Amino acid sequence: MTASSLLSRPGAVDGLGPDAGVPWHYGDPTAEQRALESGRAVVDQSHLGVVTVAGPDRLTWLDSLCTQSVASLSPGEAAELMILSPQGRIEHVAGLVDDGTTAWLITESAPALAAFLDRMRFMLRVEVADATAAWAAIGEPVAAPAGDGLVSWVDPWPGITAGGTSYAADPAATADAATARPWRLVLVPRESLATEIDARVAAGATLAGTWASEAIRIAAHRPRASREVDETTLPHELDWLRTAVHLHKGCYRGQETVAKVHNVGRPPRRLTLLHLDGSAHTLPEPGTPVHTADGAVVGRVTSVARHHELGPIALAVLKRNVDPAATLTVPTDGGPVTAAQELIVNADGVSADRPDRPGPTMKGLLMGKGCGADGGDMS
């Protein structure tokens, strides 16, 4: 992907990792965070990918492949979906909006997602294309579609969409944490990116980088595919059944695992927010192991930021049975940093609307490899 033209703006610093190619900040990340939280900032998100699916069968076909119910999606209505492996592990995540003739998928894995979808077309009337070279995304702290004919995806987090459920330790607290993060992605022709952003700046918006948007995302407990997901991730571990999974729709790849974990199992890991010791001057890198007091590795850091109010924070994926009250340590270049946990996914591994415990006969039908006799862990 070609680097964004906004990197030539005064003070712009290039991002790192999955945010390389767009501005990380413009010289004052704290002020940029405040502007974003107050609803008066714009963020270059042109490093995200765009996949289009055209043709009369597009929505029913996508519905048969993904975790979300999208067959009856209305024009302009947003949804979030996943493509899972046959074992129920997350392979792709995308925001979806349909404009009446084309389904637009905004994703961090556009080439691989487009290739997968193209292989699954068979004889259906659909056309798949990686449109990343032609279209770019702009992030805005707004919880409504853009209008004016622009394709825009409104983030449903932290709501629980139809057919979804929550694994949050405190659903109300999770909702409160995210109320300050309205978010939409607006698609514009890539050659018009700078012009579109300049128009927003002229209307009073401040330029903000991904330092600001990531800090607010982390504080809102919002998982991200390129950060929180690895090759074994189940949606339940990240509380992603809130917005990206419909538990009562028809068959799709990986559905058996999703249903089994929800009905009789427990996810083996859980997403948590870490409050890092603010006296340290260094932060851990994503991927850094998380340790208990006795030195045991119990998980890994996935996202890190300096928040303008909360200080240094991180998302981490931990073993589910880690004591929620335990103080953890995380290595950094400047030495180990202590970390206190704020629960996101509950340590019991049970959703808010888990069905009643099945009797012995039903257990025998539902249990499979990886399930304990009590409806235990899925691994």
User: Tokens representing 335?
Assistant: 């030495």
Confidence of residue 367 (pLDDT cuts 50, 70, 90): very low
Number of domains in the chain: 2
Range with the lowest mean pLDDT among 31-40, 54-63, 168-177, 276-285?
168-177
Domain end (from 171, 203, 228): 228
Residue 28 within a domain: yes
Same domain, 215 and 277: no
Using DSSP, how many helices (H) and how many strands (E) does the chain show? 9, 18
Based on the fold, state whether residues 18 and 164 are members of the same structural domain.
yes
Predicted pLDDT at 365: 43
Closest CA to 21 of 54, 44, 50: 44
Residue 192 lies in a domain: yes
- Give the pLDDT band (50/70/90) at residue 359: low
Position 178 pLDDT exceeds 70 = no
What value does the mean pLDDT take over residues 111-131?
Answer: 95
Indicate whether 273 belongs to any domain: yes
pLDDT number for residue 362 = 46
**Could you tell me if 195 and 121 lie in one domain?**
yes
Q: Considering only 57-66, 201-210, 226-235, 359-368, which range has the smallest mean pLDDT?
A: 359-368
| 277, 143: one domain | no
Structural domain harbouring 113 = 5-228
Residue 150 sits in a domain of what CATH number?
A: 3.30.1360.120
Query: b vs e for 356-373, b when ≥16 Cβ sit within 10 Å of the residue's Cβ?
Result: eeeeeeeeeebbeeebee
Tens digit of each residue's pLDDT (9 = 90 or more) over 289-329: 999 999 999 999 999 999 999 999 999 999 999 999 999 99
Please check whether residues 80 and 172 belong to one and the same domain: yes
Asked if residue 153 and residue 22 are part of one domain, the reply reads: yes
Mean pLDDT in residue range 28-52 = 97
In sequence order, the β-bridge partners of residue 122 are none
Q: Give me the pLDDT at residue 104, please.
A: 98
Same domain for 195 and 337? no
Chain segment 218-270, per-residue pLDDT in tens: 999 999 999 999 999 999 999 999 999 999 998 999 999 999 999 999 999 99
Give residue 169's pLDDT: 78
What pLDDT score does 88 carry? 97
Average per-residue pLDDT for the chain: 91
Bridge partners of 102, per DSSP, are 54
Q: How far is it, in rounded angstroms, from Cα 168 to Cα 159? A: 12
Q: Please check whether residues 173 and 288 belong to one and the same domain.
A: no
Residue 378 has pLDDT above 90, yes or no: no
324: CATH: 2.40.30.110
Give the pLDDT confidence score for residue 170 in this predicted structure.
73
Region of 232 please: left (phi>0), alpha (psi -120 to 50) or beta: alpha
Q: Does the residue 370 lie in any domain? A: no
pTM attached to this predicted model: 0.92
The verdict on residue 158 lying in a domain is: yes
Of 88-92, 258-262, 332-336, the least confident: 332-336
Residue 222 lies in a domain: yes
Is pLDDT at 83 greater than 70 in this prediction? yes
Task: Count CB atoms within 10 A of the CB of residue 56.
Answer: 11
Mean predicted confidence (pLDDT) in 344-353: 92
Give the per-residue pLDDT at 172. 65
Per-residue confidence (pLDDT) for residue 376, from 0 to 100: 38
Residues 133 and 47 in one domain: yes
Per-residue pLDDT at 79 exceeds 90: yes
Mean pLDDT along residues 41-54: 98
pLDDT of residue 177: 56
Residues 6+ apart with CB under 8 A from 288: 300, 301, 330, 331, 332
pLDDT at 27: 97
Return the bridge partners of 370, or none: none
Q: Averaged over 140-150, what is the pLDDT?
A: 91
Q: Specify whether 192 is located in the same domain as 91.
A: yes
Do residues 272 and 224 both lie within one domain? no
Residue for token pair 């300050």 = 180
Q: What is the pLDDT of residue 114?
A: 98
Residue 174 has a pLDDT of 59
Residue 250 inside a domain? The answer is no
